[in-house]
Structure 1
Amino acid sequence: MYCIKTFTANGKQLLIRNFKKESILCGFSVKKYHYLYKTFTNNYGNSSFFQIKQVTICSCYINKSLYLGNPYSQIGFGTKTGDVQNSKTTEQKRSGILSEINIEYSTQQNTTSGLKILPISSPESNKITQIYYDDNDASREAQKLFVNPKNMLHNIFYLVSKEINKPSLHLTPSYRQIKDHKKMTWICIYKIGWPKEMKFMAKDVTKKVASEKAALAALTWLRQERKITDQGAPLIYDKEEIKQISRKTYPVITLDEKTIEKMKNIIEVHNTNMLPIIESTSSEIGEGSILGENSVPKEDEDMQLTPVKKQIFLGSERYSSKEKVELPIAAFKNKIKEHVVSHQVLIIKGEPGCGKSTRVPQYVLEAWAEAEGLQGEPGRVVVTQPRRIAAISLAERVASERDEFVGDIVGYQVRLNSKFRSNTGRILYCTTGILLRHLQSDSKLSGFTHIILDEAHERDVNTDLLMNLLRSAIRSNPKLKLIVMSATIDTNMFSEYYDNAPVLEIPGFTYPVKQHFLDDCVEIDLLKTLKMCEGDVPSVIHEDVVNVLKYIQNYKKEGAILCFLPGWDDIIKIKRLIPERRDLSVHCLHSRLDDYEQRKIFSRPPPGVRKIILATNIAETSVTVDDVVYVVDTGIHKDQRFDVGKGVKCIDNHWISKASAHQRKGRAGRCQPGECFHLYPSSKYEAFQEYSLPEMMRTSLTKIVLDSKVFSNNMNALEFMGKLPTPPEKNAIKAAVEELTDLALLDEEEKLTSLGETLADFQLEPKLGKAMVNAVIFKCVTPIVDIVTLFSADSELFVSGLMAKDEAKSVKTRFSGNSDHLAMMRLFEKYLEYSADGDFAGVRQFCESANLLSYKMGTLEKLRNIHFDYLHDGLNNVIPVSDDHSDNDELVKAVLYSGVGNVLQHRDWDIVKNRFKNNTNVLLTRHNQKATIAAESVNYKRNKFPSDYLLYINETRSNIRRTTIVRECSIISKISMLLFSNHNLKIQEMKDVVDSESENQIQLVLEGTNIKLICDRMHAEEIIKCKRALMSSYRYFVSQLTKPAERNEAASKAWNDILNLVTQILIENGVNDRR
């Protein structure tokens, strides 16, 4: 048991070592000890100054000695233990040689907690705790973490001093040299001032090691106090301090008296003129059936399949299959025809290259012609494809094989593009969305004879919905035939889903494909990729992919190369790494490229030139490039997953499934033996899942649930979704129902409201559809329709826009300084001016100057007309579709926000790894997730924000990058955000805010969000009352627009008065759009 005694003399500390309780003061003679004791008590009168204090246990043992405080050589005593120098006079001793004695008896000689601390106090030191380095478990563990402790310690205190603006915290160690056991020894002392004043000491024969040990002692203590991380980052603020900082930085909203007066006028107009009309009218949105008694869904002309009417029968020979090339499926032709005639449902599992997508539709048509065509029965075969390019290219391929023009007998129909003659056409290739749209008005598909659901293995949302709806259709329409086809389909599951339907399996390749896994590719340097495969997160090693391409080019025979990559960034990086050579022709294939660019991959290069196609998984199925001989499979795809809790889609790299790997291999060797290079080991392949996760399990269900109400006549969402081949999680379904209810599209009984019925007919996300309806009410229709058209198409509009994002930003900034939505709207309107005048030269010149793709703009113009039709045909004419307030930019942004409801919150501070960063720009989503604005946005790297709020339409979460990416946004004023939000406002007292300037200040809280603003109490009350008046009037007009009603002139006049006041408020308090 150790007894620790320390004496402070004139502010200096005397160290006493090697003593035990039984022999007080080993190293000091008992006589000298009594002398000091007597001197002390004689001067101060009694021994009451001897204080026993409970302090932290100390265990800094060096050579069985206990060191406390500064080394004794610094305090005016002799270098030998127990030798008291006689340099002090009696008067000095009487004036306070011993000012305080601290005593602690410890029963613990050592513990596992690491360094032990004993505070030593004196008038000058103010109880600075001192610690000596100890080679114990804690310090050894710290030594493993902090390889260079001295540099680490100095860096920590540099960061801390900078963070809290205290330069005195910079560290400078002090050194002393003493003689210890006849050897000269260095002692290093670090004095720190954060998180409290401390001293850390160590000794060694070398100065460097002594400093390293002292620094390590400091780091060990800081780590035990949880003031640094294991990586050496300082933890400056605790949770409560962070909370206090955030409380002090709430945005403030101030309104002038003129604005308050206008709000009062809005409330008065509402209460006096609008409210009596509202109360006398049934304005419950939820009333009414799905469709009015005499109404039918308004269909996009290009989205509605034309009914079979007056078809011209051209003779059986015209409907016979044409087979210029022998394919494996030909051996199964008769069996397929027999099954189609004798069974209502047939499942076909065909290996890639067997010819199912091009030949089965012809076999079905031939079987129809032989059985029913001669008798005059109508016949039409619909073949669905998940992608536009597949539908178009397959129709062209089949028509070419039959020596026919596209559209005569075999044609296609995709959105905004169709080649199909209704009187002669028999085989129609279309996207899954086209058939779904038709099912909304014809659930039995009574105008069709055969439906072929191709590429069912992809399990995209539309395909899964079709499988459910087609199962109902064949039960209600016995004449309808269904064929489900895929290369890697789970035949047992699909057969059971369709009441044990028969299954035909067709073998595939006419030529063998040699596989090379990563562990086989010893001739190519792929060590980086091999190391990547050992980790959890897949990523493309671009130089390794190029090494494989070079190897094929240098050592393999002629033949095109198809390289599968996760996304556009990877495609561009690899394209840049491929040397520009005359014997190479590089093409890109991505879903956001236009049809023309995508179809370039089918062209054959000149002799001596090798074609390289860099593609996403769009090339896995349906798209067949005949001259592909070599496939490079990275094994990675960019997959979208939906985070139900955060309500955001997450896009990251994921490993593919075995089925996808099989499909990728199948792209090679269509015309000759092929080879496939898998850039992952065979052991990694064995760990892949058998099939890809269905899209229904990893996407937002909001639009799907809304559509399901129309398909199922308001069936409960859980019940309808439970009938899918793979039902999604119940939480995801419930979240979709809640969102639709918040949007007033479903009522409390989960039935469609009149607004819900209207928006279900819009082929748009519900939020965008609602924004368009709101634009009618607030009389700014054209800008909102243009914005919705532009940002719902998911199409790249700029030349090289996927690559040259800074150029896109530069063009947009010419039209708006703080709004991507207004910038693109103005670009589009400028294009439309030339187009409306028929000035094709002007269109071309404008598109070239703005770096726009003119044909894409033409497609958007058609889509824009469809969106206008939604409003003209789908709404009652109680409010004319007008642009009375379209010039008010702030109103346009506010109305867009009223629909989409997404807002980023800006703040000029941040706390990163417990470090406070001032004068920075941080953006937070509604879920308090940090967001990053993409490079193509006009607000990218913005330094000053005229408002703390930015509305946006779409967001994507990247878990790898740990940020939410927003590609388009607009700065919106605080008052616009408060008045046009779908959430209610409430007042919250300022009790948790410590720096309130006035007792009249409160927090104005937007319920259900993280948005809080400091506001004057009276102003907040007026804002809330004004918002209630606006929402009351708004709900009235929504009901009038979406249910049979007559125009009320008094209500219209009152609403115009309110709108005029609202627009004035927004102009006076809005964000100036500097260009």
Structure 2
Amino acid sequence: MSKRRNEFPQRESRQSSIFGDEDDEEYLENAKKYILEHGINPPKPRHLKGRAIGMWHSKMSKLRKSLFLENASQEEKLFDNAMGDISLTRAQKSEIKSVLEGLPDKAACSSDSYNNIEDSEFKKKFLENINGKLEDRIGKMEVEQQNAYLDQTLFEELEQKLTEEEYIEMLERRSSLPCNKMKEKIIELVETHPVVLISGETGCGKTTQVPQFLLDHFIEQKRGSLCKIVCTQPRRISAISVAERVAEERAEALGWSTGYQIRLEKVSPRNRGSMIFCTTGVVLRQMQVDPCLSEYTHIIIDEIHERDIQSDFLITLLKQVIAKRKDLRVILMSATLNAETFSEYFDNCPHLNIPGFTYQVKEYFLEDVLLRTRYNFEEYATLRQARGQTLKVREFISLIEPHIKKLKEENAYDQYVYDQLRSPLSENLDLSLIYSLLLYICHSEEDNGAVLIFLPGFAEISALHKLITTSDDFPSWKYLVIPLHSQMPTIQQKEVFHKPPYGVRKIIISTNIAETSITIDDVVFVIDCGMMKVKSYDKYSNSESLECKWVSKANASQRKGRAGRVKPGVCFHLISKARYEMLETYTLPEILRIRLENVILTAKILQLGKIEDFFAKLMNSPDPSVVSTSLELLKRLEALDDNESLTPLGYHLAKLPLSPQIGKMLLFGALFNCLEPILNIAVVLDYRDPFVLPVGREKEADKKRRELADRCTSDHIFMHNLIKDFEILNDHEREQKAFCWEFFLSWGTMKQLCQLKQEFMQNLEELGFVPNTKPNCKQCNCNSKNIDLIRAVICAGLYPNIVIRSAQGAQGRRPISALHLLNGKRVEFHPKSILAKQNLPFPLLVYYNLVKSKSMYIHDATPVDPLHLIFFGDNFDQLTERGQQFITINSLKFRCTQGSSGVIKALKNKLNNFLEYQISHPNVVDLRKRNEASTLFKTIIEVLKGNGMSNYPYNSNEWSNYIEPNGLIQGTYVNQDGYLVLSYIA
């Protein structure tokens, strides 16, 4: 770049502008020569400042556009808004016509009657679903009858336990819990009311004791055979840990009176006289088969204050069920909850509160922390921030000044504390403040109990961990510092439960995973930063966002409750008492901050009628515009028809425990016989990225990830290759763990992904699309090495999530590309994407995860060919302009050679017809055989090769010659000469 700068004259005057000077024409002539020679903007004049820089860029963009149009061919000028060229040879067109003539038309599905679907078990269940209602099915299931012999057996077993020393010891421990004092009242309320609310502070014992109270009461009354309790938990780790704790308290192994069930894992208890702990999603899936939950007598929904969508969904359904099932008892439990709201929802049902912690926990706020630590917020930084965030600072001042005035009247603190409280920086997340408080606790507090620090996310955990472990104040022989985050290795997570050696203090730095999911008994001190990361759906950008927000009062109470499990505790909230009073009481319900496609499909498979009517029955109804967006996507995926009823495809997607886009991709993987690669991609998108983030080794982990990717140009195919490499080491656990250790992978997560493949295969087998549950079965994988087809199937599932990549210029020798969605919004690859640091000129890509945090980030992407979009996109249309044929897919426009558009349309229609038939007549497609399906699919597969990615120019200098002139980039294509041409939104 330095050489190029010397070639272009710089203005010497620092005051003059390049615009409006008498030598303007000379400057522009030099600029034209530079652009024509190098294909990029000339170096910016060094003297430009402020607004003049923007004016210069605008002028250069217009100059580039004019030069592009002057030098383009007449054809390019006329059709520069086309996304790409679609060309079929004469032989291809002849062959396709021949194939189409030899194939009969399959009768298209009619949503009016579906009479064209041949009689089958699928047709029977499908028609029952779309024509029935949930209330008609409730009450038709038979409820278990009492068994006198089993009643006596369970009674004698419990009597025998009362003579066993281990069980007696456990009863004594349980008797000390606050919950035990209200045992008789709990049993009485549950016996006499269909719905009961029970609230109690963390540590009172409600989660572990209430199910046991109810079960033991039935057994003691010799009615044990009539009792089966299900207790739902919002998280997998909670369901397992609570079940293990309850089994331990009953002095028995899991699988006797106590069990658990989560996705991919299950330990069943005995059939009757038992209790099972499970995730809420498990119960919802059981309701698809048995909507009245006739297997259970008691349903306990725990942690309802979190207002997750599945709990809200289940509560709404149970309100309908208890109207039909008079014997069913529903118990709603939470550490903190808005009792009046839930009570009113269930017609003023009774509410029982269990007061008190196991031990007292003293609560302090920022004022108290400043008094103890004498921490100082820098004044210069405060003033600088005040200028940049005027509105925010004004809001802060209006909040804090009345509070300080009140404190002064009470003579609560000294002037130093008041001065520090006035700093706007006191509202920021300050790791140095946390460090100072930790130092105070470790040096001033007599108790040597563990310290639990709550932070919003991994970045903050990593930074604080580094700050502590590199400090002389916290030597490793005296302090054990453990980070805790969902993406950290399981071994590292389990460390938090172990007691450290004598004389060593344990310091845990965690996200809100430690708020309710797990209990660490030896925590005495809690430091609550007052913030957490909240995932929500942004209807304006149609993306999910992950933002750092204030916790709710319910969250703060839960965090406080982590202390004082075995002795009195202390909780420091790093927010002022004034800010605490302004916090929301509860976190916004999840139904108001998520995408709704999965919720809608679940509602449809449960036969809940019009979705707006069902949402109106929820405690909080979602935004109508978000509902409309989700309904529109489901219709575009052909999961719902215009009447909002499930289509055959929608029925299958609702049966799969996946998002509809991943589910569709999986079904197409089976139909096109490239199933295992799609399975591998689906499990990662549905479950989680298996890479872990070891604190302090982030750069090394990123390097290893890219080394493993080995210049792969698709995040999805990279995940397929990763699981394939792991499975090659099957039955060699030591080698698998060594592989995971080298590349910073979670061995546990990798094993879970492999198990998840088996679950999806079982789902597909139940639906009738695969012959067995082997992911690598030959019938389903004859095309599994066809990368073009795999990319096409990925496109079929992830459509309409399209991103367009185009050249923006160059920085030194490194080309810069821009990513835009179809609506023109600018996005970026997330740093974890293997495409983030690559500069490959793939114009069209599809993605699954779009998350808004610091920027709009695409977490995963795969490049696709225009033909992939044409065959699997919607709103297909043909048009002719000035003798040239075009195909349009929504806002995307592709130029065709003469006669190609008609052939492609006929082939696309035939494919849609066959896919519709296969979906409504589930069976195993084996493309190795010679039949109608294989003939058509093989023709399609050959066409889907398209131009092939190998035909895109890899030399970035070539495609940087055509640069977006002015406005939003709509698309790019490679013309016959190998140049990347842009089209743009006017």
TM-score by length of 2: 0.77
Identity %, equivalent residues? 29
Does the residue aligned with 1:484 lie in a helix, a strand or coil?
A: strand
Q: In structure 2, what residue type is equivalent to 1:807?
A: K
- 1:73-122 CA distances to partner (integer Å, 9 max, x unpaired)? xxxxxxxxxxxxxxxxxxxxxxxxxxxxxxxxxxxxxxxxxxxxxxxxxx
Please tell me whether residue 481 in structure 1 is matched to residue 329 in structure 2.
yes
Q: What's the offset of the Cα at 1:586?
A: 2.1
Please tell me whether residue 545 in structure 1 is matched to residue 428 in structure 2.
no
Query: Which residue matches 1:858?
Result: 751
Q: How does 1:565-580 map to 2 (within 5 A)?
A: 565-579=455-469
Return closer, same or farther for 1:822/1:307 CA change in 2, 3 Å cut-off: farther
Q: What's the offset of the Cα at 1:411?
A: 2.3
Q: C-alpha root-mean-square deviation of aligned residues, in Å? A: 4.0
Does the residue aligned with 1:382 lie in a helix, a strand or coil?
A: strand
Please tell me whether residue 632 in structure 1 is matched to residue 527 in structure 2.
yes
Please tell me whether residue 829 in structure 1 is matched to residue 721 in structure 2.
no
Query: Which residue matches 1:53?
Result: none
Contact 1:906/1:921 (CA < 8 Å) preserved in 2? Answer: yes
Task: Indicate which of 932, 937, 940 corresponds to 2:828.
Answer: 932
Aligned length: 834
Q: What's the offset of the Cα at 1:167?
A: 5.1
Q: What's the offset of the Cα at 1:459?
A: 0.3
- 1:248-306 CA distances to partner (integer Å, 9 max, x unpaired)? 88676345653x64255335422x133x422x565669838996436899xxxxxxxx9
Return closer, same or farther for 1:286/1:851 CA change in 2, 3 Å cut-off: farther
Question: For residues 879 and 652 of structure 2, what CA distance do their matches in structure 1 show?
Answer: 35
Query: Which residue matches 1:322?
Result: 171
Q: In structure 2, what residue type is equivalent to 1:813?
A: A
Return closer, same or farther for 1:475/1:775 CA change in 2, 3 Å cut-off: same
Q: What's the offset of the Cα at 1:324?
A: 0.9
Task: Indicate which of 1017, 1039, 1064 corresponds to 2:917.
Answer: 1039
Task: Indicate which of 459, 478, 481 corresponds to 2:307.
Answer: 459
Q: What's the offset of the Cα at 1:476?
A: 1.7
- 1:361-389 CA distances to partner (integer Å, 9 max, x unpaired)? 11121222234xx1463311111111111
Question: For residues 950 and 161 of structure 2, what CA distance do their matches in structure 1 show?
Answer: 65
Contact 2:671/2:769 (CA < 8 Å) preserved in 1? Answer: no
Q: In structure 1, what residue type is equivalent to 2:177?
A: L
Query: Which one has a bigger Cα radius of gyration?
Result: 1
Between 918-927 and 547-556, report the one with greater CA deviation. Answer: 918-927
Does the residue aligned with 2:617 lie in a helix, a strand or coil?
A: coil
Query: Which residue matches 2:485?
Result: 590
Q: How does 1:85-484 map to 2 (within 5 A)?
A: 170-172=11-13, 190-194=15-19, 233-234=54-55, 236-237=57-58, 253-254=84-85, 258=89, 261-263=91-93, 265-270=95-100, 272-274=101-103, 276-278=104-106, 280=107, 282=109, 287=114, 292-293=123-124, 313-315=153-155, 316-317=158-159, 322-325=171-174, 326-371=176-221, 374-375=222-223, 377-423=225-271, 426-484=274-332
Contact 1:907/1:923 (CA < 8 Å) preserved in 2? Answer: yes
Return closer, same or farther for 1:424/1:342 CA change in 2, 3 Å cut-off: closer
Does the residue aligned with 1:353 lie in a helix, a strand or coil?
A: coil
Question: For residues 1050 and 806 of structure 1, what CA distance do their matches in structure 2 show?
Answer: 41
Between 920-929 and 341-350, report the one with greater CA deviation. Answer: 920-929
Q: What's the offset of the Cα at 1:574?
A: 1.6
- 1:521-560 CA distances to partner (integer Å, 9 max, x unpaired)? 2224252699689589975333332232222222223111
Query: Which residue matches 1:151?
Result: none
Please tell me whether residue 923 in structure 1 is matched to residue 822 in structure 2.
no
Q: How does 1:736-747 map to 2 (within 5 A)?
A: 736-747=630-641
Question: For residues 667 and 691 of structure 1, what CA distance do their matches in structure 2 show?
Answer: 18
Return closer, same or farther for 1:1038/1:193 CA change in 2, 3 Å cut-off: same
Question: For residues 725 and 807 of structure 1, what CA distance do their matches in structure 2 show?
Answer: 48
Return closer, same or farther for 1:294/1:654 CA change in 2, 3 Å cut-off: closer
Q: In structure 1, what residue type is equivalent to 2:366?
A: L
Question: For residues 593 and 479 of structure 1, what CA distance do their matches in structure 2 show?
Answer: 45
Return closer, same or farther for 1:649/1:235 CA change in 2, 3 Å cut-off: farther
Q: What's the offset of the Cα at 1:692?
A: 0.8
Return closer, same or farther for 1:424/1:252 CA change in 2, 3 Å cut-off: closer
Question: For residues 524 and 1000 of structure 1, what CA distance do their matches in structure 2 show?
Answer: 79
Contact 2:639/2:648 (CA < 8 Å) preserved in 1? Answer: yes
Q: What's the offset of the Cα at 1:870?
A: 2.0
Contact 2:487/2:691 (CA < 8 Å) preserved in 1? Answer: no
TM-score by length of 1: 0.71
Return closer, same or farther for 1:446/1:261 CA change in 2, 3 Å cut-off: same
Task: Indicate which of 704, 729, 749 corresponds to 2:623.
Answer: 729
Between 824-833 and 726-735, report the one with greater CA deviation. Answer: 824-833
Q: In structure 2, what residue type is equivalent to 1:974?
A: P
Task: Indicate which of 1031, 1055, 1059 corresponds to 2:937.
Answer: 1059
Question: For residues 408 and 502 of structure 1, what CA distance do their matches in structure 2 show?
Answer: 32
Task: Indicate which of 655, 658, 671 corresponds to 1:764.
Answer: 658
Question: For residues 796 and 64 of structure 2, what CA distance do their matches in structure 1 show?
Answer: 30
Which sections of structure 2, spanning at least 5 residues, go unmatched? 25-47, 70-76, 130-141, 163-169, 386-391, 397-424, 470-474, 773-777, 955-986
Q: What's the offset of the Cα at 1:825?
A: 0.9
Query: Which residue matches 2:904?
Result: 1026
Please tell me whether residue 491 in structure 1 is matched to residue 339 in structure 2.
yes
Contact 2:200/2:336 (CA < 8 Å) preserved in 1? Answer: yes
Question: For residues 876 and 308 of structure 1, what CA distance do their matches in structure 2 show?
Answer: 35
Does the residue aligned with 1:736 lie in a helix, a strand or coil?
A: helix
Return closer, same or farther for 1:286/1:938 CA change in 2, 3 Å cut-off: farther
Query: Which residue matches 2:449?
Result: 559
Query: Which residue matches 2:790?
Result: 892
Question: For residues 1023 and 784 of structure 1, what CA distance do their matches in structure 2 show?
Answer: 29
Contact 2:260/2:277 (CA < 8 Å) preserved in 1? Answer: yes
Contact 2:228/2:296 (CA < 8 Å) preserved in 1? Answer: yes
Task: Indicate which of 941, 951, 957 corresponds to 2:837.
Answer: 941
Query: Which residue matches 1:904?
Result: 803
Q: In structure 1, what residue type is equivalent to 2:124?
A: E
Return closer, same or farther for 1:717/1:282 CA change in 2, 3 Å cut-off: closer
Q: What's the offset of the Cα at 1:641?
A: 1.4
Does the residue aligned with 1:756 lie in a helix, a strand or coil?
A: helix
Question: For residues 1048 and 795 of structure 1, what CA distance do their matches in structure 2 show?
Answer: 32
Does the residue aligned with 1:527 lie in a helix, a strand or coil?
A: coil
Contact 2:779/2:928 (CA < 8 Å) preserved in 1? Answer: no
Q: What's the offset of the Cα at 1:699?
A: 0.2
Query: Which residue matches 1:603?
Result: 498
Question: For residues 931 and 286 of structure 1, what CA distance do their matches in structure 2 show?
Answer: 44
Does the residue aligned with 1:331 lie in a helix, a strand or coil?
A: helix
Contact 1:897/1:980 (CA < 8 Å) preserved in 2? Answer: yes
Query: Which residue matches 2:979?
Result: none
Query: Which residue matches 1:617?
Result: 512
Return closer, same or farther for 1:1052/1:239 CA change in 2, 3 Å cut-off: farther
Question: For residues 843 and 388 of structure 1, what CA distance do their matches in structure 2 show?
Answer: 25
Contact 2:234/2:280 (CA < 8 Å) preserved in 1? Answer: yes
Question: For residues 429 and 748 of structure 1, what CA distance do their matches in structure 2 show?
Answer: 40
Which sections of structure 1, spanning at least 5 residues, go unmatched? 1-157, 174-189, 200-226, 298-305, 990-998
- 1:935-959 CA distances to partner (integer Å, 9 max, x unpaired)? 33321211232x212222212112x
Does the residue aligned with 1:561 lie in a helix, a strand or coil?
A: strand
Contact 1:358/1:398 (CA < 8 Å) preserved in 2? Answer: yes
Please tell me whether residue 981 in structure 1 is matched to residue 873 in structure 2.
yes
Does the residue aligned with 2:483 lie in a helix, a strand or coil?
A: strand
- Structure with bigger helix share is 2
Contact 2:204/2:356 (CA < 8 Å) preserved in 1? Answer: yes
Q: In structure 2, what residue type is equivalent to 1:1006?
A: I
- 1:135-180 CA distances to partner (integer Å, 9 max, x unpaired)? xxxxxxxxxxxxxxxxxxxxxxx9xxx99x995562416xxxxxxx
Question: For residues 23 and 682 of structure 2, what CA distance do their matches in structure 1 show?
Answer: 62
Please tell me whether residue 873 in structure 1 is matched to residue 732 in structure 2.
no
Q: In structure 1, what residue type is equivalent to 2:889?
A: L
Question: For residues 933 and 307 of structure 1, what CA distance do their matches in structure 2 show?
Answer: 54
